Structure 1
Amino acid sequence: MCVLFASCLKDVSRAMRVWLNPAWQLESAGSTVTFQGEKKKYVLDDSKGVVSRLMAALEDGCENEALKALTSRDSDCESLVRALRKRGLLIESPSGPAGDDSIHARQWGHLALHTPRPDEAQRRICDATVMVMGVGGTGSVILQHLIGAGVRRFVLVDTDNVQLNNLNRQFTFPRAAVGEPKLDASQSYIRDRVSDAEVSLVDRFVTSSADIEELLEAHTDVDVIAVCIDQPIGSISDAVSESAWGRDVPSIFGGVGMQRGFYGPLFAPGKSTVTPERLAFSARADDAGSTADSGDLRSTRYSFGPHNTIIGAWMAASIIHHIAGITELVDYDVRKIIDFETGRITAQTR
C-alpha cells in the first residue's frame, strides 16, 4: 500500500519533485476519485484507498527518488503512477505550482496542461529574445502578451510616433505619449512591468531585403520574429520571412483588414514543411487562381480595435507556445484566416 514518505515535505528543495497537475480538478466521492478537465475526465476506483493515499503523498510535491522507492515496493502504486503519467495528470518541477504572488502564477496551469515540465517551459519563455517589427496595431498587442508570459528580452523595430488615432487599438500607449516615438513609449511600457528587461530599439524603416539582412546580422541572438509591418504591402513581410528562414530564425506574420484577418504560419526551419516562398502573400487579389484568402487583404487607414486584438493575440500565442516547446499548439504549415463577421476560421495551405 502507498504510504506518505517523510521526504515529501512541505518545504520545497531544489531536488526534482512530482506533483499533481494543477490544471485538473480533483474530486473525491465515496469510493471514486475523479480528475476533471474541461474536455475530458478520468474516474478512478479508490475502493482500496490507493488513490487517496497517493494523492496525499503528492499534494505538496514528492521527491522523485522517494516516489520511485515507494512504487518499487507497491505494485498498485506503480501501476497508478504509470497511468497518471501517461494521461498527463502528473508533472515534475523542483518548485511546484507558483503561489498567487507570482507574476506567472495563473499561467502555470496552462503550461502544465500541455507539458510535464511547466517550469522548464516557463524558463524557456523567460530566456527568449523576441524581435517585434512594428509596435502598432498588432505588434503592441503581441508585446503585451509576451511581457505577461514572461519574455524579458526584446528587439523593437519601428519609426512612427504615437498618434491620437492609434489609441483605439494600441493600448500600450497612454494619451500622454501622443507625439512621442513609439519605440520610446513601448520601452517605457515594458520597463514599467519588467524593470530588468533588456530592450534594443531600432529606429529604421525597413523596405528591402538588404535592410532586413543588416537588421538580422546586427541581432543574431533573436529566437523568433513577429512581423507586424505591412508597408510595402505584402512584399516586405515575405522578404522578412524568407531572410529569417535562410538564417534558421522562426518568424510569423499577421494582417488585419476590415472584415477579415489572418496569421501564420510560424515558419520554423526543422518544424515547418512549407517554406515562406510557398505561402507568399499575394500582391494582387486578381492574381490567377486567387481565392478569398489572405492575399485579398488591402492596407486601410481604418481599424476596429477588437480585430487587431484577435490577430495579435493569436500571433502571441503561437510565439509563446513555440518558445515554450509546446509545438502541438503551433501552426507551422497553415495560415489561419478569420472572418471577423462570422467568427469562421479557414486554413490556407498554399
Structure 2
Amino acid sequence: MDVQEIAHETLLVLADQLLRIQSHSLQAPLREALRSLRQGTDVGALANAWADGEAAALLAELDALGWLTSEPIDASLDFAGETYERQLDYLGLFTPDTAAAQRRLLSARVGILGLGGVGGLVAQHLVAAGVGTFHLVDDDTVAKHNLNRQFTYAPEDVGAPKTEALARYLRRVRPEAEVTGYRRRITDEAGLDAVFGPGRRLDLLVLAADVPSDLPATVARWAAVTGTPFSMGAVGVGTGFWGPLVDPSRGGCWDCFERARRAALTEVEREVESGATEPAPFSFGPSNTTVAAMLAHDIIQYLCSGRCPTSGRRAALDFTQQHITHTEESTCTCQTT
C-alpha cells in the first residue's frame, strides 16, 4: 500500500487499484495515526499517541486488508546464506513481521501423508522455505514412471522406499532439517495415532495420498480429536484442487465443508464422484507442479500468519481454461469441533 494523501476527510490509497476512501468522521487522532504509518513508525510509538486498544484495532484492520508491511529486515543479521534468505520480504505479503514469520517456519512441524506428485513437491517447497521438521508417511517405492512428475526422485532412487529417497533429498537441500520417515499405509485413525502420537504434535498435516478414497474423512476425524490443522491437494485429468485448510482450533470442520460442497454438485457430478474410487491412471508433470506449488504457498502463508486463501474453502484449477474457482468458505454448524 502507498498512502498518497490524507486530507479533507479523504484517504487516497494506491494499491492494486487507486482507492479513494472518504469519511465525514476522519477524526484527528486517526488522521495522525495514518500519517505516522505512512511515514514509518513502530507499534510502541503508535500506542503512546493513541489508546492501546484502539491502536491494536487499527493495526489489525489494516493488516487484514494487506495494507501493512514491516521495514525490510537486514537478512545478514540472522538469515544470511540460508536457502530462504531471498524470501523474507515476500513474507511481508502474509504478515508485517517477516523475521518472526521466518522463525515460525523454522520451528514448524509438518506431516506429509503421501509422497508422490503432490506430497513430494510440497515437501520440496517447504524445506526450501525453511520448515524445520518433517514427518513423511508412504508405503510405496520409487518407480521409473514416477519421474515425469515426482521431481524429488532421481533414476538411482528407483526401487527405494519413497520415505528414504525423499528424506535424502530434503537433507541435501537443508542438512539441518529434521526428517523422519514412516513406511506404512494409513487406513484408519489408529494408524495416524501410531505415526503422529504423543510427542509428535504437528503444526499441520498435508494429505496428499489418494487411497483409500475415504482417507480425507479419516484424517478429518483424527484431526478434530487431536486439534491438528490439515490441508490437502490432488490432481486429475485437466483439473486439480488444493484445500480446504481446516483448523479445528479456529472452528474448521471437514464435515460441514463436505456437506456444503456436495450440495452444490449436480446429480451427474455426484454420480461421477461416487464412482471414482481409484486414482486417475494418467499423470502430467506441469499439472502436479502447479497444484503442489499453490498448496505449498497456502501452507507457508498459514504457518506464518494463521490464515491463507484456502482456509475453510477449496480452490479448483481447470488447466484447459486456466481458470481458478473457489468454494464458499464453510461455516461449522454441527458443533463437532
Tell me if TM exceeds 0.5. yes
- Give the match's secondary structure for 1:172: coil
For the structure 1 residues 168 and 64, does the alpha-carbon distance in structure 2 shift closer, same or farther, using more than 3 Å as the test?
same
- Give the match's secondary structure for 1:279: helix
- Does the aligned pair in 2 maintain the 1:245–1:276 contact within 8 Å? no
- Give the match's secondary structure for 1:115: coil
2:207 matches 1:217: no
The offset of 1:64, in angstroms, is 8.0
1:333 corresponds to which of 312, 316, 320: 312
Partner Cα distance (1:286, 1:167) in 2? 36
Amino acid in the other structure paired with 1:128: A
State the match for 2:228 in structure 1: 249
Amino acid in the other structure paired with 1:247: T
2:215 matches 1:236: yes
2:132 corresponds to which of 118, 128, 152: 152
State the match for 1:344 in structure 2: 323
For the structure 1 residues 136 and 219, does the alpha-carbon distance in structure 2 shift closer, same or farther, using more than 3 Å as the test?
farther
The offset of 1:25, in angstroms, is 9.5
State the match for 1:207 in structure 2: 187
| Structure with the greater alpha carbon radius of gyration | 1
- Give the match's secondary structure for 1:207: coil
1:125 corresponds to which of 74, 89, 105: 105
2:284 corresponds to which of 298, 301, 304: 304
Partner Cα distance (1:307, 1:114) in 2? 25
State the match for 2:73 in structure 1: 96
- Give the match's secondary structure for 1:270: helix
2:119 matches 1:139: yes
Amino acid in the other structure paired with 2:214: S
The offset of 1:219, in angstroms, is 5.3
The offset of 1:302, in angstroms, is 1.5
For the structure 1 residues 142 and 174, does the alpha-carbon distance in structure 2 shift closer, same or farther, using more than 3 Å as the test?
same
The offset of 1:287, in angstroms, is 6.8
2:89 corresponds to which of 95, 106, 109: 109
Deviations 1:244-276 (A, max 9, x none): 122110011222111211121001013345434
Partner Cα distance (2:310, 2:247) in 1? 10
Relative to total residues, which structure has the larger helix share, 1 or 2?
2
1:167 corresponds to which of 147, 152, 156: 147
State the match for 1:263 in structure 2: 242
2:159 matches 1:182: no
Deviates more, 1:261-270 or 1:138-147: 261-270
Deviations 1:27-71 (A, max 9, x none): xxxxxxxx976x2579xxxxxxxxxxx99x97xxx9988x78xx9
Amino acid in the other structure paired with 2:106: C
The offset of 1:300, in angstroms, is 1.8
- Does the aligned pair in 2 maintain the 1:141–1:312 contact within 8 Å? yes
Partner Cα distance (2:186, 2:310) in 1? 26
- Does the aligned pair in 1 maintain the 2:95–2:304 contact within 8 Å? no
